[in-house]
Structure 1
Amino acid sequence: MGAGVGGLDALNAALNVARHPLVRMVAADSLLEPEALVQVARPFVEDRANVVAAGGVIRAANGARVARGSVLEPRLSSRWVVRFQVVEYLRSFLLGRTGWADANALLIISGAFGLFRRDLVVEVGGLDALSLAEDAELVVTLQEHLRRQRRPHRVVFVPEPVCWTEVPETLAVLGRQRRRWSHGLAQLLWKHRRMIGNPRFGPVGVLGLPFFLLFELLGPVVEVVGLASVALAAGLGALDVPTALVMFGLALGLGTLLSTAAVAVEEFSYARYTRGREVGALLLAGLMENVGYRQLHAWFRLRGLVAALLRRTPVWTAMPRTGFTEAEPVAVSWSGEIADLARMPARERARSPISPGSACGTMAVMRFLNGQRPATDLTYADVFMVPNHSTVGSRLEVDLTTPDGVGTTIPVVVANMTAISGRRMAETVARRGGLAVLPQDIPADVVGEVVAWTKARHPVYDTPITLSPTSTVGEALALLTKRAHGIVVVVEGSSPVGVVTDGQCQGVDRFTQLSQVMTEDPLTVPAGTDLPKIFDVLSGERVSAAPVVEGDRLVGVVTRKGALRSALYQPAVDANGLLLTSAAVGINGDVAGKAGALLAAGVDVLVVDTAHGHQEKAVEAVRAARSVAGSMPVVAGNVVTAQGTRDLIEAGADVAKVGVGPGAMCTTRMMTGVGRPQFSAVEECAAAARALGKHVWADGGVRHPRDIALALAAGAASVMVGSWFAGTYESAGDIHDDGSGRLYKESFGMASARAVKARTSTQSGFDRARAGLFEEGISSSRMYLDPARPGVEDLVDQIVAGVRSSFTYAGARTVDEFHERAVVGVQSAAGYEEGRPLPTSW
């Protein structure tokens, strides 16, 4: 890996070529000892499930005898600036990183030599080419990502493998290097500031980041200010000389002790420097570095901090190399496969999803059948997917965890539509691994209540509908359609004493008390019971649902299907194991203030939403949201072009929302002629986002599971669903009967007259009337409940089953692999019609 953005881009691009589970990142000016790769890979073999990254020892090669890519004989450089750095490296690796690794708080795998799980590096988007501390940035990002998903992990330091690298040989070059390191550390700590001191991020948040903030970043400030104060006091004759000498002696003694211990342990254990005079020179360097070198080092780091505080543009500077020239920039997979970017054809590099100039990215992209890209834009009905050779033996081998870092385990996001997304929808979809975005029309205090309520829900059991024994049948009937589980639990205090179903309420006077119709002493399930056992018990008792209890206290409801689903799905949860939430903010008014209020309410994902996302006002709104969001994911839209995607991402969005006019409730295309067929829009925008190491959500236009599969094939990380979910028990609207016994709910577009009227209710009558002239959307549409799939979980089952099957046809086990392996063709309208099932004979 070369220094700077180019080297990081080379590594990012190499991730597209590597095909094995581990990837080695090695600096171009570095040489490995013969057994180093095997030694650093050993932790992955011993703890395959948990180890995500491992690194070894970095040693200075300056002065060594090198031939044919190997260090034949380590020799200590005659330059004292190099010797000081050798002592630094010994102290840092043998004492520092060993301790941090044991505490599972290791923040750095050196960019000169590290081994990583490739799937996780791709999952978090690769290396950040804009960071000056790219090695620490990758490790911290991995740990934050995995902590948020509550996935066990270890970052390991292995003291045996050695990577020899060149270090600066002059103070001028050393100063530039250390200023860059300090600047990069400040970048990292600012970017991940929400992790500092936060116990949800474990030892990294509680120990590692606070230590680096106080001692590595701010330590030089204290040191330089202290030295300046001593000099000033001496000049003014106010210095207590005996005390100053004692303090100086203690500092010198402690520094010398640590350095001497590091040198002694290294030479006793590994004896790489065999000459006595070299060992003696290192011990002397351990003493001398405390006078002059250490203070100069603190000055370099202070300048880097100042540069970061002044927001100076980060700059990579080249370091002169003199020791050897044989190594090349490579990224190597575990099996030894080499992706040599220096030899990769420019055209192939340009097609690479992690392209030069990008910060990070994912794997290769979908291909058109026979390489024939159509000249016209396409929507989902225009395309089909071709089966590939597949080694995926079962749909259950497919992992639908999304690569966008949001934390969802299925690629389904409920659109921020007032008629659809509310607290019941948010809870239910998150429990099955998706995410619901609360609309921007909901007041911030109400959003806070919904978020708190959702996070208080159980990640496995459904929320019960509860009434008292004296409640009436009419009250029960009004509530039964709010939940798909189909029972009202009758409680006294917090204990269930009966259950009531819809059938028990039919033919009964609506004012009859539930105590007269309920099933008394119902079957209950103890919390924590194994899911297969729950399924078997409910099946054996021939009941569809039962209350879940802890002792006598009601904690939820579980159904036979619910037990089965909980075994198949992983809930989307935050670092504390609570269900994920999201909320939208518009682009008008105080965007930063509104975004900050949402984040303070506990929202996990912030969505900046407007119909036309490629306008300066939207871009400014994204910048404002990003300024308060910290490391929280920011989604922004809507756009349909590559440039629109780039503008939103460069303003601070992690995900661009794609789609103008494809939704069932949207009249934009008919009113304005503006928009773009959704498949082509997603494909182009996904490619643009991928080049910047980011992702897109496909928003709208999906009416069948095939459409979601095709949106993913086009490059989307997740797909937003709106009107399709409107006709479910969990959508926000009230249920109605059309007079023939069919149940429906009303849906409406977010730019319709109905939505505009609600959004402008606090404005003057004139302003409301003026706003009403600019409606774009249907104000009332009947979305009928499917009797076979009346709950949103039923539709999620249908979607996930179809998408999993699509993955097996493509031979893909993950979303990233699906992006790579999908092959799409173009079909006629008759071809699409041919694929539709026929409910009756012809």
Structure 2
Amino acid sequence: MGSFAKEGLTFDDVSLITAYADFLPEETEIKTKFSTNIELNIPFVSAAMDTVTESQMAIAMARLGGIGVIHKNLSVQLQAEEVRKVKNYLNGLIKKPVVFSQEDTVEHLIQEREEKKYGFSGFPIVNDEGIVLGIISGWDLKFVTNPKQKLKAIMSRKLITAPEDTPIAKAFDIMLKNKVGKLPLTTSKGTLVGLYSLTDVKSVIENINPLFTRDKEHRLRVAAAAGPYDYERIQTLIEAGCDAIVIDTAHGHSKGVIETVMQSKKNHPEIDIVAGNIGTEEGAAALLKAGADAVKVGIGPGSICTTRVVAGVGIPQISAIYTASKGVKNAIPIIGDGGIKQSGDVSKAIAAGAYTVMMGSALAGTTESPGEKISHKGKTYVIYRGMGSLEAMKSSQGSRERYGVKDADIDKLVPQGVEGMVLYRGKVEDVINQYSGGLKYSLGYCGTRTLSELRARAKFIKVTSAGLREAHPHDIEITKDAPNYSVEGY
């Protein structure tokens, strides 16, 4: 006979108790850690879902101070390309700059730039040996009248280069002195090994964007998902510049995940390995012992997940986060994955033990999500689906692998999620600003200046169904929507 554990509580079952504060919410700080070696300025992570996070979302999240996890419903090479787009978007030093041959046409360059959505317009021109012959700038392209013209006819041949070990400060001086926007780094034989961009270098030197989540080379940080034993994918993602690998499965307290974490840390000790999903103290402790740099918590709390009703398993999210945090004892960060509906849920998750929250539906309706935008009854919606939905599992081995049915017959799949649509919400920046503001208010109410203080000192009170009704607007017909509140689901 099955035994009964403690009572399971989720976000709507609890509320935080206020405490004395001698400061204002605007004086609070919401910095945190995503994993052992990756610090964030905001505790928000975009989910590794094919209707939530590709390069555009990951770039936006890193620019806001968070991080995005590129989903794995892509081929290895396409996923790596998404990672490279993020790493190349803004960086002090581009280690592997995009190059073209002098025999390529202007038309080919422009087509490549548009198809791959490069956020820059300067490209070194190299020969077959990788020796720099010239450089093409956006300025050069403006005066082209014949798109069939070869790049060797319009490239700038008067090059200013620097040695491959040139530090960023020295590169900045060289670029200012010579009034150049791009500075190729070359070996003694002239082989291209890197490239500095003035816009990026200036941003780094002058610290124009202090909130950006950046690596030691001042590039935006990005994480990406992989499955158990998928070492080829992991290797390729790391070679593309990925900062953290998320071993992403529906059941993280399993042999495959534990062995993959151990082997990945052995193969790549310099890379943070995040693992999940789990919902128990024992699961968290097992992944910590295996060497994980963060643990992802959440069995079925997401709006599009049906795991709890299909399989009859899962722990309500507040209880899951709390019990998992006891399993790691602050040794590594906890990521609360799923169930976030309102900004108040974020502070509850962190008070329960999370360092960050992973968000799917909250971000799926933004401009930056890859989900299809559609019009329905005069409003704009965005398609959003669970990675365990039937369509996601049919379309990609990545989804099937996440739910342990990698080689299953397509006609016999048992989904653990649904597909639907969410209301279009505009830019992700606007959504995150509302969540950040709500979190800062919560810190103020709880008398805690930082997220670590909230985790250490917060107190919960259990809420009845009547208390929940009282917490929401009542006895009124809402005539104007607020940007940070939705009655959906209540």
- What TM-score do the two structures reach when normalised by structure 1? 0.41
CA–CA distance in structure 1, aligned partners of residues 76 and 291 of structure 2: 23
Identify which of 138, 144, 162 aligns with 1:494: 138
CA–CA distance in structure 1, aligned partners of residues 380 and 91 of structure 2: 29
Deviation at 1:813, TM superposition (A): 2.1
The one-letter code of the counterpart of 1:677 is P
% identical aligned pairs: 31
SS in structure 1 at match of 2:323: helix
The one-letter code of the counterpart of 2:69 is V
- Which residue does 1:429 correspond to in 2? 61
Identify which of 257, 261, 270 aligns with 1:622: 261
- Which residue does 2:33 correspond to in 1? 402
Change (3 A) 1:688 1:799: same
CA contact (8 A) 1:634 1:655 kept: yes
Change (3 A) 1:495 1:552: farther
CA–CA distance in structure 1, aligned partners of residues 63 and 399 of structure 2: 35
Identify which of 299, 304, 315 aligns with 1:676: 315
- Which residue does 1:384 correspond to in 2? 15
- Which residue does 1:573 correspond to in 2? 214
- Which residue does 1:784 correspond to in 2? 423
The one-letter code of the counterpart of 1:421 is T
Deviation at 1:391, TM superposition (A): 2.5
Deviation string 1:79-116 (CA, Å, 9 cap, x unpaired) is xxxxxxxxxxxxxxxxxxxxxxxxxxxxxxxxxxxxxx
Deviation at 1:634, TM superposition (A): 1.1
User: Is 1:662 the equivalent of 2:301?
Assistant: yes
The one-letter code of the counterpart of 2:470 is E
Change (3 A) 1:439 1:382: same
SS in structure 1 at match of 2:18: coil
- Which residue does 1:649 correspond to in 2? 288
User: Is 1:754 the equivalent of 2:394?
Assistant: no
CA–CA distance in structure 2, aligned partners of residues 625 and 805 of structure 1: 40
CA contact (8 A) 2:74 2:398 kept: no
The one-letter code of the counterpart of 1:653 is A
CA–CA distance in structure 2, aligned partners of residues 496 and 730 of structure 1: 30
CA–CA distance in structure 2, aligned partners of residues 582 and 792 of structure 1: 18
SS in structure 1 at match of 2:39: coil
Deviation string 1:243-278 (CA, Å, 9 cap, x unpaired) is xxxxxxxxxxxxxxxxxxxxxxxxxxxxxxxxxxxx
The one-letter code of the counterpart of 1:701 is G
SS in structure 1 at match of 2:89: coil
CA contact (8 A) 1:407 1:574 kept: no
Identify which of 713, 722, 725 aligns with 2:351: 713
CA–CA distance in structure 1, aligned partners of residues 43 and 470 of structure 2: 28
SS in structure 1 at match of 2:334: strand
SS in structure 1 at match of 2:282: helix
Counterparts of 1:265-414 in structure 2, within 5 Å, are 376-402=7-33, 404=35, 405-414=37-46
SS in structure 2 at match of 1:608: strand
CA–CA distance in structure 2, aligned partners of residues 635 and 762 of structure 1: 18
User: Is 1:794 the equivalent of 2:425?
Assistant: no
Deviation at 1:407, TM superposition (A): 2.1
- Which residue does 1:745 correspond to in 2? 382
Deviation string 1:747-772 (CA, Å, 9 cap, x unpaired) is 11111111111224999xx9663474
- Which residue does 2:234 correspond to in 1? 595
Between structure 1 and structure 2, the one with the greater Rg is 1
User: Is 1:442 the equivalent of 2:74?
Assistant: yes
Deviation string 1:560-607 (CA, Å, 9 cap, x unpaired) is xxxxxx9897111101111001001111xx433322221111100110
How many positions carry a matched residue from both structures? 370
SS in structure 2 at match of 1:389: coil
SS in structure 2 at match of 1:402: strand
Deviation string 1:189-243 (CA, Å, 9 cap, x unpaired) is xxxxxxxxxxxxxxxxxxxxxxxxxxxxxxxxxxxxxxxxxxxxxxxxxxxxxxx
CA contact (8 A) 1:595 1:629 kept: no
Moved over 3 A (4+): 495-498, 550-556, 566-569, 760-763, 766-772
CA–CA distance in structure 1, aligned partners of residues 398 and 440 of structure 2: 44
The one-letter code of the counterpart of 2:20 is H
Deviation at 1:792, TM superposition (A): 0.9
Counterparts of 1:169-208 in structure 2, within 5 Å, are none
- Which residue does 2:469 correspond to in 1? 833
Change (3 A) 1:835 1:758: same
- Which residue does 2:204 correspond to in 1? none
Deviation at 1:617, TM superposition (A): 1.9
Structure 1: gaps of 5 or more residues: 1-373, 461-478, 483-492, 499-549, 557-565
Counterparts of 1:530-545 in structure 2, within 5 Å, are none
- Which residue does 1:51 correspond to in 2? none
Deviation string 1:515-559 (CA, Å, 9 cap, x unpaired) is xxxxxxxxxxxxxxxxxxxxxxxxxxxxxxxxxxx9999999xxx
Change (3 A) 1:401 1:495: farther
CA–CA distance in structure 1, aligned partners of residues 357 and 431 of structure 2: 14
- Which residue does 2:371 correspond to in 1? 733
CA–CA distance in structure 1, aligned partners of residues 350 and 69 of structure 2: 19
CA contact (8 A) 1:414 1:722 kept: yes
CA–CA distance in structure 2, aligned partners of residues 599 and 645 of structure 1: 25
Range with bigger deviation, 412-421 or 446-455: 446-455
CA–CA distance in structure 1, aligned partners of residues 468 and 389 of structure 2: 31
Deviation at 1:629, TM superposition (A): 2.4
Change (3 A) 1:798 1:386: same
CA contact (8 A) 2:227 2:398 kept: no
- What TM-score do the two structures reach when normalised by structure 2? 0.69
The one-letter code of the counterpart of 2:138 is S
Change (3 A) 1:817 1:757: same
Deviation at 1:409, TM superposition (A): 1.4
- Which residue does 2:130 correspond to in 1? none
Structure (1/2) with the larger helix percentage: 1
User: Is 1:704 the equivalent of 2:342?
Assistant: yes
CA–CA distance in structure 2, aligned partners of residues 823 and 445 of structure 1: 47
